[in-house]
Structures are given as C-alpha cells and as structure tokens.
Amino acid sequence: MDTIILCGGLGTRIRTITKDSLPKAMIQLSGKTILEWELTWLRKNNIKHAILAIRHLAAYIEEQFGKLYETEYGEIEISYSIEKEKLGSGGAVYLANQFVSSKNVIIMNGDIITNFDLLEMINLHINSEIKGTIAVVKMRSPYGIVEIEDMKKISEFREKPILDHWIHAGVDIFAKDVLESFPKKGQMEETIFVEMAEKKDLIAYRVNPEFYWRSIDNPKDLQEAEKEWKGLDIQ
C-alpha cells in the first residue's frame, strides 16, 4: 500500500527551531529526523513506497533521501510530488495521486511521531469495505484541569489529563478513487472529510493508548517528545 506524507508546510509555529532553513519534517528527535521516524515506522508495517508531498525547501528533502531510504526493517522507495504553489492538504493529496498505484493509500501528516499498530488499522479499513478510515486519539488537555465544588472550593487538580474527546491523529487510509474527489486547492479536513462524514463514508480507527502518539506543532511539543519518545517498540 502506498503512503502520501504531507511535508510541504512552512512550520511557522516552530520557526524558532527551523529558522526557515530546515523543513519541519527534518527536525531532529532522538537521533532521527521526524521524517526518518515516519519512514521507518511505515517500513516496519510493511509499507514499501512513500510519496513525499513537498514544497518548502523541497530540494533539501530530495537530496537527503533520494529514491530509496534504508531503514532497519528494509528499504522504502521514495517518490516526490512537488507543489509549485501552496495547495493546502487536500490539494497536495490531489497532486500526489499521480504517483499512487495501490488500490488503497495511506495519507499521513509529516509531523507525527507514533508507534501504533498500522497493520491493524489497514486490516480494519480493508475488511470494512469503506471509502475512508481516520485514525483518532484521545485528546490531551493543553492545560491543567481544575474541579470546583460549590463554586469556590477546589476538589481536584489534574495536570494536562487525557480528555474524553477523540481528535484526528493525522493518519488516514482512503480508497484510491476517492483521491480524485479531493480539492485541487484547500484543506482536506474542511472539504472532503466533511462531505464523506455526512455520507457516512468514514470510519474511525481508535489508537490504543498503550502506543505513543504526538504531533510536533511547536517547540514545547518537541521538548516533551524528546523526554517521552522511546522509539518504535513499546517500552
């Protein structure tokens, strides 16, 4: 199964790290770049072809990876879909579709660090005979939660707890023919996702909380991931 990795963004919220001279996906974390961790995770789950949807500093990424990337689980073939202008996530997928040859395709954000069981998600998607499967994770509150009794006394304080809400994990699987309906320009979360949800054409894959998942959106995320991330094997 082919995978499209969306790694063409500017990474404005993490500019203090990239300093506009490094693509966000090429930030170092525990001995590898984010993109290297993603490619290694994909190859561990038997994915052998990744399409990098790139724009910002595209030549730099292409120089770093070439046509084949060697992981500890074997080689993964690399193709490049290069945006000449800002297309948004939906437009990036639409453009990258020309490189997809598999019946189903994984779409992944280029700033995700995770070790969840991708093969389990793939099996769910295929066995469900559904157009799209969205990975979801429980949301961690960015703030401490305060429980108040009688409008005054604090009964409990929980520092950044896991909330009972599911959020998009940035890893999806779609039937290839769906990609033709993605917008040529615009965000997929605001267009095709909404349309498919209304038609009941999407199912959720709930990531088991025993696995690690984090989106690296800002310097604090990177700092916390450096402390938390133990690698692709569950510790």
pLDDT value at 14 more than 80: no
Distance CA(209)–CA(139), nearest Å, equals 11
Q: CB–CB of 162/146 below 8 Å?
A: no
Q: What are phi and psi of 226, to 5 degrees?
A: -60, -35
The angle subtended at Cα 229 by Cα 212 and Cα 187, nearest 5°, is 60
CA 234 to chain centre: 19
On whether the CB atoms of residues 54 and 10 are closer than 8 A, the answer is no
Amino acid at 212: Y
Q: What is the pLDDT of residue 142?
A: 76
Domain 2-136+166-228: CATH superfamily is Spore Coat Polysaccharide Biosynthesis Protein SpsA; Chain A (3.90.550.10)
* pTM score of the predicted model: 0.91
How far is the C-alpha of 27 from the C-alpha of 29, rounded, in Å? Answer: 7
Q: Which residues pair with 68 in a beta bridge?
A: 77
Tell me: the pLDDT tens digits for 68-99? 999 999 999 999 999 999 999 999 999 999 99
Residue range 32-60, pLDDT digits in tens: 999 999 999 999 999 999 999 999 889 99
Report the pLDDT value the prediction gives residue 11, as an integer from 0 to 100.
65
Q: Distance (Å, rounded) from C-alpha 122 to C-alpha 106? A: 9
What token pair was written down for 64? Answer: 């770093």
Kindly calculate the radius of gyration of the chain based on its CA atoms and give it in whole angstroms. Answer: 18
Sorted by where each begins, the domain ranges of the chain are 2-136+166-228
Which of 227, 198, 193 lies closest to 212 in space, CA to CA?
227
